[in-house]
Chains A and B, each alone.
Chain A
């Protein structure tokens, strides 16, 4: 379980996170929802140790985040994180050299599933293919958690469908998935838990099926209630 406890982050003048707390369980898909600038990416980056926090703590499976986090959790950013001059296959080699959790077979499978050319240069990928490649790199690490920042934004419909298939499939296994989005439509049927952010705090956090069972509300309904009361 990823536990985020009362984290605060300020960028110069703006206070982005003012005490955010929530949990993301293994075996579930948790989604952070909020408008652009609500701090969703900041939270993911903080969990991955890419930005320092002003206060608060983050624990993964009970341990404070440190160097070991990187074999436990994989991060798929909303942009490319590999050198543009590298070929796709060289990217694999790089990952294999540094990560013990790297699964080359799965990487090749996903490469074929997404129909990507290993000899292509990363810099020449279209936006949709770049997103697939980043996702591929994240999923081919055999980690317990996968964090994704806006996996669907700015991508064509067919790529979205492919990516959605991956979500619902084997490749997710018993992993814990934490993702962010500002558009819930593509994700409503896929997620277990929704965490609604606004003004740097968590306004509501709930299990989607329970919300449907007990109150007959969709995630979109709850969002409307919370964001536009």
Chain B
């Protein structure tokens, strides 16, 4: 798990509230498995320093995530991602729902029946998976 890289790679946009962007990024990392259940995350200050954002923003994001039960902070120990499977599943489905919505919005104005659409998606999905596995193989070959 390349943790240190994960935090510095984020590209923010300047129009959406930063703290929401931070939360969304966390959710992505969870949904894609880069952050595991129960994994320890950096402190608010460390996160702020690595992401190069205002520490108050990191603070607000953490507070919000605690309220959403995304992260757990017990006493003075470092915060960790929740281990609650239900919450984790919810995140996954939330992100998927968002992506699907975004996709549907983008094809809304194109006249296409559902089966054709599903076929297209299925085809592209297989292509993508194949490319991914070839990339993985290529990596292992070079190792």
Contact = CB atoms under 8 A, between A and B. Distances in A.
> When A and B assemble into the complex, do they touch directly, with CB atoms less than 8 Å apart?
yes
B17 interface: yes
A218 B18 CA distance: 10
Given A169-B45, A169-B48, A170-B45, A190 B15 contact: no
Chain A interface extent, by class: 20 to 34
A212 to B, nearest CB: 4
A189 B49 contact: no
Interface in A79-127: none
Contacts of A192: 54, 56
Given A165-B49, A168-B52, A172-B55, A213 B17 contact: yes
B52 A218 contact: no
Contacts of B16: 212, 216
Residue among B12, B55, B60 with the highest chain A CB neighbour number at 10 A: B55
B19 interface: yes
A130 to B, nearest CB: 23
A218 to B, nearest CB: 3
A219 B54 contact: no
B50 to A, nearest CB: 8
A145 B16 CA distance: 29
Contacts of B48: 168-169
A168 B54 contact: yes
A168 B49 contact: yes
A190 B17 contact: no
Contact of B14 (A165, A172, A219): A219
A209 B45 contact: no
B15 A212 contact: yes
Contacts, number: 57
A209 B57 contact: yes
A71 interface: no
A189 B48 CA distance: 10
A212 B55 contact: no
Q: Is the interface of B mostly helix, strand, loop or mixed?
A: helix
A29 B57 CA distance: 11
Contacts of A189: 12, 14, 18, 52-54, 57
B14 A216 contact: no
Given A170-B45, A209-B57, A209-B60, A165 B52 contact: yes
A218 B56 contact: no
Nearest to A221: B15
A213 B19 CA distance: 10
Contacts of A203: none
Given A169-B45, A209-B19, A209-B57, A190 B14 contact: no
Contacts of A221: 15
A23 interface: no
A10 interface: no
Nearest to A29: B54
A28 B59 CA distance: 12
22 contacts: A27-B56, A29-B56, A165-B49, A168-B52, A168-B54, A169-B49, A189-B14, A189-B53, A189-B54, A190-B52, A190-B53, A191-B54, A209-B17, A209-B18, A209-B57, A209-B60, A212-B16, A212-B17, A213-B17, A213-B20, A218-B13, A218-B15
Interface of A: 27-29, 164-165, 168-170, 172, 188-192, 209, 212-213, 216-221
Enumerate the 6 nearest inter-chain pairs by beta-carbon distance, A residue then B residue, closest first: A218-B14, A169-B49, A212-B17, A168-B49, A168-B48, A213-B17
